[in-house]
Structure 1
Amino acid sequence: MIVKYSGQALALVIMLAACNQTPAKKNQQVVEQLNPMRLIPAGEFEMGADDDSGSPDEYPKHLVKVDSFWLDEHEVTNAEFTAFVQATGYVTTAEKPIPKEEVMATLPPGSPEPDSSLLAPASLVFVPTETAVDLRDVSQWWSVVPGASWKAPNGPGSDIKGKEQHPVIHVSWEDAQAYAKWAGKRLPTEAEWEYAARGGLKNQPFPWGAETPQASPGKTNIWNGHFPYENTEADGFYGTAPVKSFAANGYQLYDMAGNVWEWTADWYDAGYYAQVKPGTLNPEGSHTPNDPEEPSAKRVIRGGSFMCSDEYCRGYRVSARMKTTPTSGLSNLGFRCARSAK
């Protein structure tokens, strides 16, 4: 599918696409005209939940030090990702058939092989329910949709026309890594991400301070109302919002809470915080993935999304940790890039 643009977006896409087969440094310079990077100063902070409202994997709170680094001002947009795909011919995970071996690895020994129809290219699409449901059963609102991908976010017949400045979604960890490498960047570590999200504030639960987004809907893009069947759109949006729709934090970063979850570089280990020596400089996370709830290896995602609500998922807290498999593609998952300052 060819995505058509107009005006400034078209000019930027053409300029970016012209970087095909050029050094990563040049790609990086051109990309940053569309998504400037902010220099995050070196410093230290207490990583983890600021009160008793966190999940078990957010404790214990521990002192972390980070060197200065650069971080994208906002989440990578559809326009930026389109330029990457046009320049490289890259095919995302969601656009490829699912490897049979990958599926078999998640099933009990002796399970029959899945039918080939179940291995067709697909991604997980959010489908709101009509009434209240058991919030412990995520299958109530997630649907595997064949043909869904970053350029067809709701499946065949859908597209991203008019959403050039919305964050790209349905991208796997591998996809995010590929884009970052092309742009001369990398994914941020979990520690870098949280430090940046706090924006220089100390011991505050949100990028802007202590006030909840429910008390002030203009803070970020989340689910207002009753999830997953009633969204009042008090913040002005039902699904994703264009980047920079809300105020930046103290480091001039946008959407560090809500809109879409963001990939980080780290493996997810539920007990990792207890293993970190206080004062560690630039922690890179566990070298061994560990999710006691489900055995498959997962990467950490941060920031919450438009699907987070006070009654279901408070992932928009700066310390909130979530995880998913590296091949996952979701309606509410994107990324932003980092680069070391040294």
Structure 2
Amino acid sequence: MNKVNIGKCVLAIFSQVMFTFSGVVTADESDVSMQRVGALLVDRTEVTIASFSEFIATTGTSTRAEKSGGLVYDGGWKAMPGWYWQKPFGQKADPELPAVHVTFDEAQAYCRWSDKRLPTDIEWQSVAYTESRAQPEPPFTRGETYPYPTGLEPVGANCLHECGATKAIDYSAKLTRGIGPAPVATGKVGVNGLFDMGANVWEWTDIDSDHQKGTRGGSWWYGSSPMKRDHRATKPRDMAVVYIGFRCVRDVD
């Protein structure tokens, strides 16, 4: 598997892997038994503030949250002026934190700019829970489908409770619940060598709906339950929320 550069939005490259309904086509280093998605490259981490800033600088994009304030839930959705991707809690943040306050379409625009796209819900679910590497490191077993992206237990993720100690940056003074996100790749490496598929921040997924889009994995705002394989939430595609981020995938011919 290719070397990881944490400073960028990084790809876990399943080298020339082909997925089939009936089985597996041999790849260079990984044999995968999942739903067919063709060949897929998956970001190892959630897209960071640092990576998103390059997109903003290059394209001149002005996000919805920059104009109207990002959303936080406090007895109802509340817009927070000055809270946006670069200042998720109203002040400049660690560039290795996941980029949040990004709508579905803004996330998709970033992915397209990077010659990638957002994953479908089925793709996200398959990659997050079913171990596909030919020789995964313990405790993971090839072909095993786990209840959490971290494996059999939620420990090692950045969630509200039941996940153990984290390296989250403490923004609790600005919140009515939880502490906040952790820099990417500081938690436990999970299924398929991916980071933070469970908790830290929810991740946008593409579902067959014009107005609603999927969010997967849970976040620092919640306990471990939303991390489970059968849990999917939806949000209006134009919402920019303090605990929703994203990662991208790429099809390989």
Give the TM-score of the pair, scaled to structure 1. Answer: 0.57
**SS of corresponding position for 2:51:** helix
Could you tell me how far apart the structure 2 residues matched to 1:70 and 1:318 are? Answer: 21
Gapped regions of structure 2 (runs ≥ 5): 22-33, 132-142, 169-178
> What percent of counterpart residues are identical?
32
Matches within 5 A, 1:10-49: 34-40=8-14, 41-43=17-19
One-letter code aligned to 2:239: S
Pair 1:206 & 2:135 matched: no
- 1:223–1:233 CA contact under 8 A, matched in 2: no
Q: CA deviation at 1:233?
A: 7.3
Give 2:230's match in structure 1, choosing from 302, 305, 319: 319
Alignment of 1:72-221 (within 5 A): 72-96=43-67, 121-126=68-73, 138-139=75-76, 142-155=77-90, 158-160=91-93, 163-200=94-131, 201-211=143-153, 213=154, 216=155, 219-221=156-158
Do the aligned partners of 2:121 and 2:206 also contact (CA within 8 Å) in 1?
Answer: yes
SS in 2 for 1:340: strand
C-alpha distance in 2 between matches for 1:166 and 1:233? 19
Q: Alignment partner for residue 36 of structure 2, among 65, 83, 86?
A: 65
What residue in structure 2 maps to residue 244 of structure 1?
185
1:206-285 equivalent positions in 2, closer than 5 A: 206-211=148-153, 213=154, 216=155, 219-224=156-161, 234-237=165-168, 238-266=179-207
CA displacement 1:238-265 (0-9 Å, x = unmatched): 2100000122224211111010011112
Deviation at 1:91, TM superposition (A): 0.6
1:279 — aligned with what? none
CA distance in 2, matches of 1:32, 1:159: 19
For each residue in 1:126-154, what CA deviation from the matched residue of structure 2 results, as whole angstroms up to 9, or x when unmatched? 55xxxxxxxxxx52xx4222332112322
Code of the residue aligned with 1:37 in structure 2: it is L
Separation in 1, partners of 2:158, 2:20: 28
The question of whether the paired residues in 2 share the 8 Å contact of 1:122 and 1:148 is answered with yes
- How has the CA–CA distance of structure 1 residues 194 and 323 changed in structure 2, closer, same or farther, with 3 Å as cutoff? same
Q: Which amino acid aligns with 1:143?
A: K
Can you give the 5+ residue segments of structure 1 that lack an aligned partner in the other structure?
1-30, 46-62, 97-120, 128-137, 226-231, 267-285, 290-296
Find out whether 1:298 has 2:239 as its counterpart: no
Which deviations, in whole Å up to 9, do the C-alpha atoms of 1:34-92 show, x marking residues without a partner? 233123444479xxxxxxxxxxxxxxxxx943322001110000000111111111111
Alpha-carbon distance in structure 2 between the residues aligned to 1:86 and 1:93: 16
Q: Return the TM-score normalized by structure 2.
A: 0.76
- C-alpha distance in 1 between matches for 2:226 and 2:18: 25
| Mapped contact 2:71–2:78 kept (Cα < 8 A) | yes
In structure 2, distance between residues paired with 1:93 and 1:328: 9
Task: Look up the match of 1:334.
Answer: 245
Instruction: Flag the structure with larger Rg.
Output: 1
Does structure 1 conserve the Cα–Cα contact (< 8 Å) formed by 2:151 and 2:191? no
Q: Any idea what the Cα deviations from partners look like across 1:134-178, whole Å, max 9, x if unmatched?
A: xxxx52xx42223321123224xx222xx1001001000111011
How many residues are treated as equivalent by the alignment? Answer: 214
Deviation at 1:235, TM superposition (A): 2.7
- The Cα shift of 1:125 comes to 2.4
What RMSD, in angstroms, separates the aligned Cα atoms of the two structures? 2.5
Partner of 1:309: 223
Structure that is richer in helix per residue: 1
